[in-house]
Structure 1
Amino acid sequence: MSELEILPVVLKQIHETSQSGTLMVETDEEEIFIYLKDGMIRSLAFAHGKSILAESLRNFDKINKETLRSIFFKQREMITSLLDALRNCESVPDEFKDVGFLADICRKQIEEELYEVLNWENIKCEFMQNELSEEIFDLDLVNLPINIKFEAILMEAARRADEWELIQEIIPSTKDIPAKITDSIDNDDGDSKRIFEKVDGKQNIDEILISVRLTNFQGMKIMSDLIKNEQIRLKTVEEIAQMTRLDSIRNDGEKCISIYELLESKGYKNYETISWLARAYDKKGLTAKAAVKYNEQGQIAFDKDRYEEAIKAYNKVVNFSPDNLEAYEKLIHCYYKSSLLEKAAEISAVYARKISVKDKRKAIMVLDEANKNYPSSSSNLELMASLYIEMGDKENAISVYYILAMLMNKQKKPELALSAYRKILAINPNDFHAQIELGDGLIKLGKHNEAVDQYKNLGKSIYSEMKNESSNDRGSEDALIEVCKWIIKYEPESIIARDWLCEAYIHKKKIDEAIKALKENIDLLKKLDDKDSLVAHLRKLIKLDPDDFNNRKLLSSILFQMERRSESISELIDLGTHFYDKSDLRKAREAFESLLSIDPFNLHARHCHANILRQLHRHARAVEEYRLVGYLAKSLGMHKEAIEAFSKVIELAPGTERAQYMEIAHLYECLGEYEEAVNYYYTYAKKSLTHGNYGEVRHICSRIQELKPQHEGARALREQAEAKLELMPRLI
């Protein structure tokens, strides 16, 4: 597949090489598919549902519209292809069902479409060799006897291109409206007469061509000839303008829009046409077009100081086109000129939000101007403060919030004043003036619970200060401890106060008090069933007291309940390792056994567990565990680790675990260490001979001799085994 830009070049390549396949041709707006077989054009399909047969029937004037409707109705009724519907439609004469007839009208339609396509600009082509998709083409139509040579199409397209230039000189637009000059025409051409009869001084050229069921080129050629022959003419701008006063036109919204658009395209444009089009587009839901026209209407009214009209127009513009910033500026100016200061402030806020994306400084200037003209807008002050914050100008943001708080107090809105103080404290938690004002305000309103919250904010400020102090200046810990105790007194379940209390003790190096505070917090969190916070507090406690076995186990258990399995396992590994390193084998064993209860295939845990059992002289259990470690490591392809584990089994139970020799031998063989493999195979064979397993001895010795043919020990053992095997029938 390849992409080319010139369609004739592509068609010529395909024809000369007699290729078959589908050629896709597209522009930014249109797309068609051409099917070629052996270099000849056989069919054409549209990308957006149109059918070549449907277009052919529409443009064939000998099939009346009623018959055409019955064919399409039959297709919907049968839920089948259009060709099948045509063949099964009783109202269609047999001659119109003939294959030759269908091939002829489809061929003509394909040619007409190709003439159009060859005039497309900025095309791209993609040829899919030997591809014929049933999703794109109707195979019944593809099989019609149609073979079109591309050279003939190119020649006709070139001829038409020259004619189109002449036609467009006579008819600039298909939206133009023709009118008759003569009452009749002396012309034997039926198509010319049909077009002439449709000219009524109201329909535009597009509408006429659709009604006479001719191709675009045919219709336009006839129409231009009628104009050249002075049988019809195109209406003047003045005549078209007169049409807008006709009731039949004014009551037809789409027709009226078409006429007004035609007038504007010819330079006939005024406040009336703009206003009418704006309302018509608005009514039809064509918001983008309506916005353009309302903007033009608003500009004319604005320039003439007709601010009330301009306000209505610009409100429409910003509603339909919210990103038109210039319209906002004009709308605000109109409100100021009309002394509608509150509305100006309201729109200024909307405008400021939009321009703040790119220019926060300009947005603040807009709001500042609005506040000077209408100082009672709390929302504008809020927005201005937030923009200062986004710019990183905290000082100005705080100043604006103080102005807002004073305005709210003046307006007897204490709740909003408190909100402003809270926002100041959000910017600067250490602003003690705001803290005092907030506290006083809460007391005046009788909101003692919120006063507790204020103490929490104060505690947060002190806590932040404590964190930022140098090691030689620790004046804030005692203050924070007192604040936390006050909060806990009135709100015993305050987790945050207890956290600050713990941090204060840690800062003062009073670790025992910190641990005590943490454990109280943990007990409280257990009751509240707040697992996330409980996990965080347990981690903090463990950092202070890593020997707290029970709480470390609790941490793992909670993580497992929260389905954080990997973290739970990691905690148990750390716990077991910690106490193993401290030689507290019983706690280490308990930790690893807890781990294995949730992750029985954890190789590391099993290995550690086996080592602990061995050190505790629980040899039987250790053997069992090392054996599991060996088989688990083997299954994971960790041959060396498996060898080490099986070796431990042999070490702890040398007389009973002879099968482990066989396992080790096999693992060494997998590693390519054949000398070691032979040694273990030989040891296994000797032990098997001792246990009277002569067949196994013979088999293993054979394997040894395959790995090391000159191994005398293996040969001797094999002979002994075979001798024993020969005696067995006699003994029986």
Structure 2
Amino acid sequence: MTTMRDINIMDFSSIFQSISGQKRTGTLRVVGPDDEKLIYFNRGNVELVLAKQRKFLLGEALVKYGKLEKEQLEEALSEQRKSGKELGKVLVEMGLLSERDIQEAVAFQITEEVCDIFSWERVDCQFLEDEVVPEIQKILDEGIRVAVNAESLIMEAARRIDEWEIIKKLVPSTKDVFQATPASFHYFQEEGWDAEREVLSLIDGVRDVEEVIQKARMPKFDALKILHKLVSNKEIEPVPAPRLVELGLRFSNEGNLRKAIRLFERAEELGVEGLEVDHKLAKAYEAVGNVKKAVEKYLAYARRKEQQGDLDSAVYAYGRIINLQPDELRWHKRLIEVLIKQGRKEEVVRQARKLEEKFLARNQKDEAVALWKRIQQMAPDLPVTYEALSKLHLKFDETVQAIIELENLAGLLLMRGEKEQAVKVFRRILQLDDECVQARMSLAATLADLGQTKQALSEYSKLSEMLQRTGILQDGGNMAFLLDIYRKMADLEPQNLDVRWRLAEAYLSSGNKEGALQTLQEMLDILRSQRDNKEELVKVLEKMSQLSPDDEEVLLKLGDAYADCGMSQQAIKVYERLALAAMQRGNYEEALALCQKCRRVEPLRIDTFRLMAEIYGQLGDTERQAEFYRQIAWLYIAMEHYDAAEDALVRASELQSADLGTLLLLAEIYKKRKKKDKVKSLLSRLARTAVKQRDLGLAARFISELERLGLSDDSVTEIKNQLKVLQTRLEEAEKLPVIERPASSRIFSSIPGIRIIKPKKERTNPEGGQPSDSQPQRQFE
């Protein structure tokens, strides 16, 4: 079997000659634009030609060839029906024709059909070697056999082609319909015009040229020549295109679709506007099963309607094309594009899903993706396109691409204000990739917008944990991202201290100390209203002091917080540090105030007293300085640290050398520590002082104490003698009128002998509750 497609008629001539020249036997199938013919070759000669659109009727061929009248044919057919014999045998038996007449009629029919093929422009050929198709075999079995030389057929066809070129100038198409004019009437009034009358009798404004030449009882070409003559003489004229359309509709309604098609085709060739000829042709072609031509016309109709803006009609036409050629997917694509222009989104989706199925059935995944992408470009606000693409990518394990489409879908939903739906999409993304940062960030933000604070915080928290766990925070950009997360969390729940701690730490990790301090300050403001959260306040202030160790305001707040929490040592440490800093600046009043804070925390802290003594020393207030040294001494005495008490009292005595109470207490310390020399020196000095101040009783007691301690020597004896002299003088003075005792003697007479004892209970003074030198813990003997 040899097949050649879409060849021109000259090539067909070569094929025809080749089969004949090679003496081949078989059937040549020839398919033209409007018909199909079967040519049977037997050893290179043509024995029979059948047209698909016309049955081979021997009787008609005999009538047309002029071998038989119609009445004779009717009589023969009647006899045939009675006898059941082949028509050819009946005609011979009736004596109407010879076998040669019949063979000539068949040869005539072969010539007509083959020459007709040579008028086609392009054909498809298929030669079936040594095959006789059933239709031909049936006729051959009736005994009708001729052998027509192929070369003669080609020569006859060539001659007719040349003449046809002349005829076509006036009869351009066998589809034309003609109607007679009054100029033709003379043929029916005059003798000798049988052929013209035969043709004119067939011209009725309905039959086309093909029908006329088929029915005329003469060779086709003879009929064509007569038509040419009649047109040339203006004895017939062509029916205009609109009338052809009317006729086509009539025949279409009557069911004669092939006739209607020829009329519509010629009307279209002539050019007619506004009568929807392409649509009529498309429906007619579809009805007769000519899918190729139906698609061509529906396509032309669809494109024309698109240009005119009649998109409904275009959609209809593309729909018909898809039904006719379901596997031709490009028109399905075009249908979707037109539907998008119409805004028919639901139909777009429906058709796109159908087309997607076709692509996938062919394993054309990329085409399916491109389809939805194209729809996305044309209708970016259509959520279903993103859904479809994500499902496609998931179907082929392309998770990343699926997530991208879902992210785009969520973004679209947010733009449209459909936040609840966007949340669902974000959750779907996280089901695919739990560590998708952008999806979780967007989910948290959307939940926050919806007022679902608790869930938003949970998502932000998961995100921060994920960033820390995966180690991507080493990148500075990611640290900024983490900061943004914590800021959002803090905005959502301002009172959440844990979040703010994380925010502060994140600032520190990124090197932003100022940001951390600002966050800690915000925490401080929050804690001021939470009086029962003292420990947290301490932690915040400790962190602030670490970041700004020289910020005295922060340190002072920290000291107060320590004190409020009962953390005495930490509070005192801070206060003393601040006091020393104040002293370095020369701000002694501030230093004293800080020391007072220390005393409120720990009233009997010796270091605080010593610091205050130092401060008063810097102020030049020796009286207060000495007083604090005396208080230090008493504290050491209470602890039985007599050496330290001695040092404090020495300092006090150096500052106030005439303060008798300090000296007496110092003397007791010396005795306690068995420092006889120092006791002797101090009591001797006191005794001399008393003598100088003429306080005889006090001087006598100091001397008596020295003697009791066994410390009497020449110097003591000398003081004692001085006392005696003074006593003598005073006795003599008493004999004198109005001599008053010195005021100072009242002071000395009030100081009896003392001994040191441990205090049973702390006593306070008005300044701060500490013992003072004016209130010594002592017992006079």
Shorter chain as normaliser: what TM range? Answer: 0.3 to 0.5
TM-score, normalised relative to structure 1: 0.44
Q: Return the TM-score normalized by structure 2.
A: 0.41
In our comparison, the structure showing a higher alpha carbon Rg is 2
